[in-house]
Structure 1
């Protein structure tokens, strides 16, 4: 019998980006999602938690001009880059946090000690919560910022 991870399918829109300049203020990765995307990522975390060291790849939609205005970094004019895919993996080592600056795919590997924070952050997106980051406190490790969703409609 196959695990729920095998049957997980992405729903909704998920945007991930990082800024190419002035990394001191908003360094790391930035994530937002529509309601369906946030719920889909929450389901993925649940499935990955029961299958450590497995991974799934998520399709990324570049952030819209409207979404880039949410952090309002450099008045929304800062140069940014977005991958086409994000590979997500739960490590069996609880304190792991790895999110290098690589593109295509971007790769996030985290331990179970980060699951409560990730879960709360993703649950907050549909409720308009954001403007905070999580991840390792070490300077050489990229953090993950969360932002509320603004549709470009």
Structure 2
């Protein structure tokens, strides 16, 4: 049995992107509470062990006012999907975002797994305010 199939989500994870001020805040933004971070780390570890083709979906919460206050993008409007599907894909160089309505998909290459994991570790430790990837493929890490 695949390890990722035994995984169960705990805590809160938020993912959003801004509709305004894209020059300073392009791409995606992620934040999570302590339980959400621990849950994501367990999922990323399970997906890494399961390897190419492994996939699981996270249920997302809209970003809280406290999370939105950290990047301080003033009153910029934002969009937030309801789910995030993580898929291990050996054919992707780093990662590739796709959005279909309320569902976001992130295909993760080998190099991205460790980077995403470190980003979640940083969120749990109250660090962040940096992004990985470029433009619309960027992912910003925020505590809060």
TM norm structure 2: 0.92
Mapping of 1:73-112 within 5 angstroms? 73=73, 75=74, 77-93=75-91, 95-112=93-110
The corresponding residue for 2:32 is 33
What runs of 5+ residues in structure 2 fail to find an aligned partner?
Answer: none
CA RMSD of aligned residues (A): 1.5
In the TM superposition, what is the alpha-carbon distance from 1:92 to its structure 2 partner? 1.6
CA distance in 2, matches of 1:57, 1:103: 15
SS at match of 1:87: strand
The corresponding residue for 1:117 is 115
The corresponding residue for 1:63 is 63
Matched residues, number: 143
SS at match of 1:99: strand
1:56-105 C-alpha deviation (Å, 9 max, x unpaired): 110000011221111001x2x10001011111111123614101354421
Q: Is the 8 A contact 2:57 2:84 kept in 1?
A: yes
CA distance in 2, matches of 1:120, 1:96: 14
CA distance in 1, matches of 2:101, 2:15: 11
SS at match of 1:62: coil
Runs of 4+, deviation exceeding 4 Å? none
Distance 1:94 1:109, change over 3 A: closer
The corresponding residue for 2:45 is 46
What runs of 5+ residues in structure 1 fail to find an aligned partner?
Answer: none
SS at match of 1:6: helix
Mapping of 1:113-152 within 5 angstroms? 113-135=111-133, 137=134, 139=135, 141-149=136-144
1:12 aligns with 2:7: no
Distance 1:102 1:133, change over 3 A: farther
Q: Is the 8 A contact 1:70 1:148 kept in 2?
A: yes
Q: Is the 8 A contact 1:94 1:113 kept in 2?
A: no
